[in-house]
A and B are shown apart, each in its own frame.
Chain A
Amino acid sequence: MTVFGLAVRTLRHRAGGFAAVFLAMVLGATILMAFASMLDIATGDVPGAARETLVIMATVVGGWGMLLVAFAVVSTLTLAVRQRAAEIALLKSVGATPAQLTRMIVGEAVALAVVSVALAVAPAALAGRGLLALLHDTGQVPADVGYAFGPIALAQGFGITLVASVAAAYITARRTTRVRVAESLVSAEVERPRMSKKRIVAGGLFLALGLDLAIVTVTAMRNAGQETMATAGQAAILASFGLAVLAPGLVRGAARLAGGVLERCGAAGDLALASLRGRTGQAASVVTPIILFTGIGTGTLYVQATENAVIARSGLAPEEGAETIETLNLVVIGMIVAFTALMLVNTLLAATAHRRREFGQLRLAGAAPGQVLGAVALEGAVLMVTGVLAGTVASVFTILPFTVARADALVPDGGPGIYAGTVAVAAALTLVTVVGATRRALRVPAVEAVAV
């Protein structure tokens, strides 16, 4: 059987494990192509100002969307491959070379990406139509400019999704397949305890870029109007990415800090702590979307609230184009919130479903279903707090420089309600999903769950 044949068979038999990757790709490609189709529209007969709006929409918003999508694909694919560590070790033990395994994993990713993008075409065209309608309604694009979905949207959708998938698959595959067989067979379920140098460098780089934009905001962009907002907004996005890349380290730190409290929570606390310590990688992939959600969401919302307040206080008419920026901002917020929220649910479902065997073992050791739920909820709470705190730190990269530059203040407008709301949504999504998914996993009889 060819390696590609093996890849296709694996996909067919492990549909469950790849559902999260698949969803990330379909949603990601939908967002990518919806924005890219603005460029398709702009190639038609469009007046200058409207064309500019369309191009900004596609490049600025679409550019961030692209990074977000790449991040989601990398994160879900890493989780999916890690969950198959045991299977990969087995394949190695029967003679598969690292090169063959890498080809298999990359092949799977390519197959998934192609199918996902194809499926995303219809919803993307629909979403693109919605975006255009928004621009029509706000008068930024004349009503007689019609919708177009063409080669640019398709090329970007396929191109970016494929490149992100192949890169993510390749990196993950190399990491997984280079471990020696004996080592990977025994430690398939417990992972290495340290972050790689490359990861630390990458995370540091994102953070440094975020910091750079923050500094630029208070210095060069001090009175640059809308530019100030755009520059400041990107600082939180970059900082969120940086902290998300460093998530394994954050989880380890959280486990150390929460250790004392968890140890006093009985058996459930012990189990939560052991899981945080022994399965850092899985935990980190859950923390990632929480950081992005909190960091980017809070940052953008406060910046918009402060901008509105500053304009209202100045008593002047809003600057020309402010409307476009606000629309863009709201679209970004909406897109990011929806996407990261879905990724959060998606990742949690995949991570929890994979723990069926572990839950079965716990029950055989005498855990009542309620105790398993308790342990998982505690663990989820620690991850949620970790993600929210990191996201809060990331949002400061945007909020502080912006309020200093635009309003000469340290505290943004908008009140504590925005923050409370964001945190509440993050908490609710995390806990409801974790408890729901665990409940489902517990419905399988314990003996059956461990027999997998």
Chain B
Amino acid sequence: MTGVLGALSEAWDEVRVHKSRVVLSLVGVFLAVFAMTSVTAIGQIAAQVQQETAERTGGRPATIAVQAFDPMTGMPPDAEAWDVAVAELTGRYDLTTSATISYGEGLYRMPGGTQRVQTVRVSPSYGELHRKQPVEGRWFREGDRTSLSPALVVNEAFLEALGVPDLSSRPTVMLGGPTPVRATIVGVLREGYGSELVAYRVDRSGGSWGDAGAVDPMQAMYGGPSTLKLWVHPDQVDQVMETVRRDLGLALDGAQVDPYRMDAEGVEETLAVLRLAIRGAGVVVLILGGLGVLNIGLVTVRQRIREIGVRRSFGATSGRVFSAVMLESVCATALAGVAAVGAAVVLVRNLPVERWFSDGIPLADAPGFPVAAAIEGMIAATAVGALAGLLPAIIAVRAKVIDAIRF
């Protein structure tokens, strides 16, 4: 018991007395663990950004899109019938993670005159499915269906065309058509190419296409076919597609139902490779840092041979000499590891990592500082200390006492 304490206090004394040397030898390990931990953490945030970007376009894995046509005319089914059939389907199977989407064009009264803008009508749950994360304001809620002034989520170009800098003035816009209605802009997204204007509205259950603020009926028809999107477990894709095809086909009285998978499969694999590459780089840096510690350890153990000889005369056993040199290395690198992980946490917390990778679109699921990366950093630092301490410890044990204390 006191033997272990003795070895520990000996190692600690050593670290304390040779502060500058220890600090110097640890710069490498500190930098390596710092780099590895930060890179892993940043990499994980980058990967998350990458994944969410992919999911914004294709939906989260696995997203199934369902459309229906009349096999004879190629026309979409009657809107009301479709809505009823979809509501029945999602109700029957308790499909909470489903959304509908349809595209059309709306007439908006902008300062420069009435303008046609592509308008996407979605159910509020579409936001979760496609990781819609407004840069300002909010995405739709279920309550928006019943609000008197239709809620709109628009892109930045739309807001600019409206001549409004941000949402602080609670901007509204008149939806044109036979009976105009004032819509409220509740959120702003960063999307669309160039100066393309994009607007989102709650789906038909918040008012049919034909109502006030809708469009010219021709456009509505072309844009019309509504798509049902389902977010299911990747293992259930085939089963769900089969069920949907059968049930919707029956409900829509012989319409052709086309379910297909639309998320970017394989994104996960790409990201796994990315993560692996990042870790590989970290390991290489760490090995270099470990070599630095080993090098300084070898130099100093030679300088300390006399001291080790003197300790032998105090009755130090080989085991004690070995563990003293070894523990010194481990104590020191573990300390460097703590410092490096701490520094990495501070760095990653304070860097605008998300801005760099995602064009300023906030993350829907922002990863915190990855605990695994921190623990790994600590383990790696300690392991490097043990490995780098091994050779000097062996040299120390093998040193001939009488040569060491001879002068």
Chains A and B belong together in one complex: no
Binding site for A on B (CB under 8 A): none
Binding site for B on A (CB under 8 A): none
